[in-house]
Chains A and B, each alone.
Chain A
Amino acid sequence: MITHPYDDIAAYALGTLDQAQAQAVLEHADGCPTCAVLMADAMVAMHGVLGTQPERPLSARHLLQRSLKPEILNIPSRTRPRFLHERLLPWSIAGAALAACIGLLFWSAQLRTHVLQVPIAALVHSHFTHHPLHGGVGDAKVIQAINGQWLYLVADGLRPRTSYTLSEVIGGHKRTVGTFSSDDAGDAAAFWQQPPAQIASVSIIPTQSHSRDDELRWP
């Protein structure tokens, strides 16, 4: 027998549930049309209070980045069959690539707390691929837009609290993309945007090091 959280619906609308209870109510409403309707009614009731708030523009940084957390694009698996059948091919490819990307982003549990804010448009409107980096100390992957317009680096097992430089080779020329720092656990994540280009190789190395033994690289 299904238990409906009728009492908790008003409590949710009032903001009086703790995080776990609130999440449970939202998830129940996902699969229960009756409770979803009750929830909608309760929300409309609170709208009388909350809806009178004037706008507060998001900060300039926020507006410029127009960023949302990358998890937003992690389409749940239950939606994928419909997604793949109903959408045009480019969207299907993009969806599969997005799912792969998000999986990569979270391949290390430690990295969960270090997820950067990625401009949503960069992920939504790009096709991308990923490269594991080899060599040196630690593990790292670079996820890049197919057209080279952005790079996302995730790494663990690096030297703790160390500045690293990420370089790329484009058209036979090596250039520095940017620097980033590992945290106390040796984890790191960083994101860069640049003009479109065909990236031939990518490497990271501690900024103070010139030894190839310290370098992680692709291919």
Chain B
Amino acid sequence: MGSSDSADIVRRLQSDDPVALEEAFALFGGRCNAIAYGVLHDDQAAADAVQDAFLSLWQHRHGLVVRGAGLGPWLFVVVRNAALTIFRKNSARSNRESRSGLLQPPDASPDPAQAVAGQDQAAELRRVMTRLPEEQKNVLELAYFGFLTLAQIAERTNTPLGTVKRRAQRALQQLHSLMSRHSP
């Protein structure tokens, strides 16, 4: 999937072409599903998150800006947000947080192959994170692996929300820089 194909899909989406949405779904649906499943460990819930993400893509198509990497980054972030929304709603409903601790993964048994892929990804991220300043690393740890919101991180770490936001911003910049250096 080249970024030129992505650009063509974006252009046609912005011309209100629903077929472009189906093409985006065919091209990115599988990876979006993997990301959602990595958060939810539930096929039906992951499918719901994927649908929410593609609904967002359609709703926000006119303001869409994608960079050189194409449509993938936009969709992957949006589907993860959709999955996290579902996860947080489910957590609130079942009070899972108070029973098993916020940093525990979802209690469903994940698909073994997906679990291995997720572990590889997590290991790579943790390896890169070791090079971040401690406070940025903490924010990333709680955000990415703990599925916490910034407000929850601020409360948990007893840090002003604005400070947590700035740390998150810097952590993301650093992460991008470090991951770019490590990519082949």
Write the residues of chain A forming the contact surface with B, with a CB cutoff of 8 angstroms.
7-19, 22, 26-27, 29-33, 36-37, 39-59, 62, 66, 68-69, 71-73, 75-76, 79, 82-83, 86-87, 95, 117, 120-121, 124
Contact = CB atoms under 8 A, between A and B. Distances in A.
B67 A41 contact: yes
B43 interface: yes
B11 interface: no
B18 A10 contact: no
A96 to B, nearest CB: 13
Interface centre among B31, B65, B72, B77 (most CB of A within 10 A): B77
Instruction: Tell me whether chain A's interface is mostly helix, strand or loop, or mixed.
Output: helix
B22 A56 contact: no
Given A46-B73, A58-B29, A22 B65 contact: no
Nearest to A79: B16
Residue from A31, A58, A71 with most neighbouring chain B CB atoms (10 Å): A58
A50 B162 contact: no
A69 B21 CA distance: 12
B16 to A, nearest CB: 5
Contacts of B168: 10-11, 14, 16
Nearest to B122: A49
Given A51-B31, A56-B46, 16 more contacts: A7-B162, A10-B172, A11-B165, A30-B63, A42-B77, A43-B73, A45-B173, A45-B176, A47-B77, A49-B121, A51-B72, A73-B18, A76-B59, A79-B16, A120-B21, A124-B19
Interface string B163-184: 0011011011101100110010
A48 B65 contact: no
Contact of B51 (A14, A43, A68): A68
Contacts of A72: 18, 21, 54-55, 58
Given A13-B77, A49-B179, A53-B31, A44 B150 contact: no
Nearest to B144: A14
29 contacts: A8-B165, A10-B168, A12-B77, A14-B144, A14-B171, A15-B81, A16-B168, A22-B81, A26-B56, A36-B64, A40-B67, A40-B74, A42-B172, A43-B67, A45-B172, A45-B176, A46-B80, A48-B183, A49-B121, A49-B144, A50-B35, A50-B73, A50-B80, A53-B35, A55-B30, A57-B30, A72-B21, A72-B55, A73-B58
B148 to A, nearest CB: 7
B55 A71 contact: yes
Interface in B126-172: 140, 143-144, 147-151, 153, 162, 165-166, 168-169, 171-172
Given A47-B76, A52-B121, A17 B149 contact: yes
B84 interface: yes
B175 A18 contact: no
Nearest to B54: A68
B102 interface: no
A86 B114 CA distance: 45
B62 A55 contact: no
A86 B65 CA distance: 22
Q: Which of A11, A15, A32 has the most CB of B within 10 A?
A: A15
A1 B30 CA distance: 42
Contacts of A56: 30-31, 33-34, 37, 46, 111, 114
